[in-house]
Structure 1
């Protein structure tokens, strides 16, 4: 991995006249999102984080700054304290990139109301983002590469609110005796680490030289939806689709008008059945990788609890990034929200169902000062997940 550009800051450097450009901030690109209040002075750039297009959730930002090479830039997010998860800014460092391939962290402070980045860009064009983006073009490439492996069938389950394809990747023999493993990601489109995770999982699953993957595909068929919310992803939304629906609260009664993405996936699940389900997410506040299970659903029993415990133990062995000490408070029996994917699937199919959460910040158990939690770490976690799935495959049905 390339060293962070921050290591090469030139102190006291005065750019020659030919390098000086007019400062400009733009966001009119895939997943771009910001509101510009003032961008006239390098040391007083004032911005607002834009809410989702049809909902009040605001946390995701992604924009391009031009014409500020070697200038000390102070970038203020004036409404950070009013965002959906203000506690998420504590100990948070934004991500930056000059080429949208290599991303690194930049220092920021949050005073409870305003988040401020102090940074000296080393080139005239730089991007800042809440987390390492995963573009729609990357998504289409991922789908194409999976199909090109010869092991994956690509199908369209339906259309989003704005008419985009809902891509399903099917890997396996699709025979009745196969165990059915379902993995979905990016119900919340701003949680881009989820699709990075899926990329890693697919890279390993589609590797014919990987013995774990070969053994898995001898016994299971995988159904993977890499992006549940393409509309929201392209629009630069944090949490909702183009109609303003939080898809992870639509599983009990999805509609063709407001949540067709969930409706079409649910219908396919009922057709195939589900033996193991994973819903991949990111958490704004907690600096850990953790699971959230189905202990609150009516059908939860000792069998599922035992499989959960074994699955967590195996995942710990597969990836030191995972832990089960920190996470969400467990739901009391019968208190689960069945409009959430993991709970609905767990209750509907009486199967092992987990939500996996990754941090927007860093993993406090294995911190990385340069990159924090990143797309690459998410990808590696996806690779490791297959080992844990293999370990419980004989017990999930």
Structure 2
């Protein structure tokens, strides 16, 4: 048996791999950080032999509750990712699986590769309605890409969408791919109507360094980007620094920051009710957005989510709160599960890239529902 993770977003440490029924692994921490939870590795072995893979030391991982009722994903072709039987005893995740081929990939969630990211940017810029802008570079020298969809006229609403501040939350970029696919479809009535009065600024991957390095939550130097929005710097968080500068240049009328949640098996949003300038106008827009999204897809709900912040007690280093406050706009963090949507469970695939993409398409309906009242 050979276990390898020396590829895009790979992360695993082999403790012992002498017998297929006793493979012992652990997860490497993010660079210069204590966070760890993302894994992605390839197993070369004998087909049709039962394997027991144990990933250890998870009681001290970033989100231990995320392993309860969690099922790992696997793929033979790196295209179709299916769930495999997994169990958690409080410290060790055990995967019980009999491969049908001699090599198979395992991951925390379906990876979204950097090559696919580059393809997404290149393909999108070919659309008549889309322009690519290079905002700057990361600490590892990768591009920070912005897609501008629509005519950036001053009279139009400025809708900003960022994804994957936390690189292990790959479902965020799968969602953006679906949203872009519909938004750039010239035959889609919702997209055409939206682009009459709105321009979209979309950052499909806020953290390409962490994505390639196989990090869960941080960039190349261990910075959690979603705690940098009060005072970003070129030394620690150039990704946020460049995006916030561009936001200041364009203005923001609606902001959606796309994430994944390790523990909660639901799709939900978190708003800015704790912001000092939160008011009835923002509250009404929040309600209209949620009601519209619930009406168009059963994948979204508003029963389960994070506890609401008390008035004036929001963490202003978080993107949703910081942008909402600075630009006095509707601002949401949208969370998707690593596990499955408990309201619509799928034993074979769980929450999957296809479902992420569809939710991205459905988001345009909710955006349209509030766009006329953003200002």
TM-score between both structures, scaled by the size of structure 2: 0.99
Structure 2 stretches of 5 or more lacking a match? none
* CA RMSD after TM alignment: 0.6
Structure 1 stretches of 5 or more lacking a match? 1-22
The total of aligned residue pairs comes to: 375
Report if aligned partners of 1:198, 1:226 keep a CA contact under 8 Å in 2. Answer: yes
Which residues in structure 2 correspond to 1:161-180 (within 5 Å)?
Answer: 161-180=139-158
Q: Distance in 2 between matches of 1:33 and 1:85?
A: 17
Partner of 2:359: 381
Report if aligned partners of 1:206, 1:213 keep a CA contact under 8 Å in 2. Answer: yes
Report if aligned partners of 2:129, 2:151 keep a CA contact under 8 Å in 1. Answer: no
Report if aligned partners of 2:44, 2:102 keep a CA contact under 8 Å in 1. Answer: yes
Question: Within the alignment, does 1:111 sit opposite 2:111 as a pair?
Answer: no
Partner of 1:26: 4
Q: Distance in 2 between matches of 1:221 and 1:295?
A: 26
- The structure with the largest alpha-carbon Rg is 1
Q: Distance in 1 between matches of 2:249 and 2:105?
A: 43
- Tell me the CA shift for residue 54 of structure 1: 1.9
Report if aligned partners of 1:184, 1:225 keep a CA contact under 8 Å in 2. Answer: yes
Which residues in structure 2 correspond to 1:1-397 (within 5 Å)?
Answer: 23-397=1-375
**C-alpha distance after superposition, 1:9-58 (max 9, x if no partner):** xxxxxxxxxxxxxx100000000000000011000000001111221101
Report if aligned partners of 2:160, 2:252 keep a CA contact under 8 Å in 1. Answer: yes
- Tell me the CA shift for residue 311 of structure 1: 0.6
- Tell me the CA shift for residue 286 of structure 1: 0.2
**C-alpha distance after superposition, 1:202-233 (max 9, x if no partner):** 00000000000000000000000000000000
- Tell me the CA shift for residue 309 of structure 1: 0.5
Task: Please state whether the residue corresponding to 1:63 is helix, strand or coil.
Answer: strand
Q: Distance in 1 between matches of 2:46 and 2:264?
A: 33
TM-score between both structures, scaled by the size of structure 1: 0.94
**C-alpha distance after superposition, 1:105-149 (max 9, x if no partner):** 001110111110010010001000000000000000101110112
Task: Please state whether the residue corresponding to 2:136 is helix, strand or coil.
Answer: strand
Report if aligned partners of 1:181, 1:221 keep a CA contact under 8 Å in 2. Answer: yes
- Once superposed, which parts of structure 1, at least 4 consecutive aligned residues long, lie more than 3 Å away? none
**C-alpha distance after superposition, 1:267-317 (max 9, x if no partner):** 000000000000000000000000000000000001100110011000101
